[in-house]
Amino acid sequence: MNPLSNWVHAVLDIPDGGLKRERAASAEERAAIVTQLRLLSLDALDAAYRIDRLAGGGYRLHGRVTAGLEQPCVVTLDPVAQTIDDEFDTEFWPEVVARDGEQDARVLDGRDVETLENGALAAGRVIFETLSATLDPYPRKAGAEFQWQDKAVGEVAKISPFAALSKLKDKT
């Protein structure tokens, strides 16, 4: 389950001029995100966004997510600090139906397109997905190097492929 699932806005509550919000994740929400994304810590998660009405019954959610967090190094498991600062831009429509290439045009213009569910925009889901997509998939502490050698492979590598032939040569 999305830890920010309560960050939703009913479309009936969005005025004609749009809605502007700034939110910060609570300690409980941050703890749930740490568990779900397997982070070491999440010191802050803030989002500033705006929801605008679009012609035809759609809505545009756009803004910025910032976070300070620590992930485990893939080599040493030591903490690796990371600062997230990324933008998101998503359209919500009552129905997302492809009509004569219209859906393709929306995908190509760079915005994600979502379906409105139960008359509400899931801002928290978009923010959570932006955070998780922005994480470094292989965080590495500065100077950390992976050095491993399989002993069995090392022993095989020392044996020359011509060793068996040289034994035959000595017998003849």
pLDDT in tens, 46-104: 999 999 999 888 999 999 999 999 999 988 888 999 999 999 999 999 876 555 555 55
- For Cα atoms 48, 53, 54, give the angle at the middle one, nearest 5 degrees: 120
> According to the model, what pLDDT value does residue 105 have?
54
Write phi, then psi, for 131 (nearest 5 degrees).
-60, -50
Closest CA to 137 of 88, 82, 87, 90: 82
pLDDT in tens, 107-149: 555 678 888 888 899 999 999 999 999 999 988 888 777 676 6
- For Cα atoms 127, 19, 91, give the angle at the middle one, nearest 5 degrees: 50
Name the pTM for this structure.
Answer: 0.75
Angle between helix 27-37 and 123-134 (nearest 10): 50
Calculate the alpha carbon distances from 78 to 12, 72, 137, 144 in Å: 47, 5, 15, 10
pLDDT beyond 80 at 163: no
pLDDT category at 36 given cuts 50, 70, 90 is very high
User: What is the average pLDDT across 29-35?
Assistant: 95
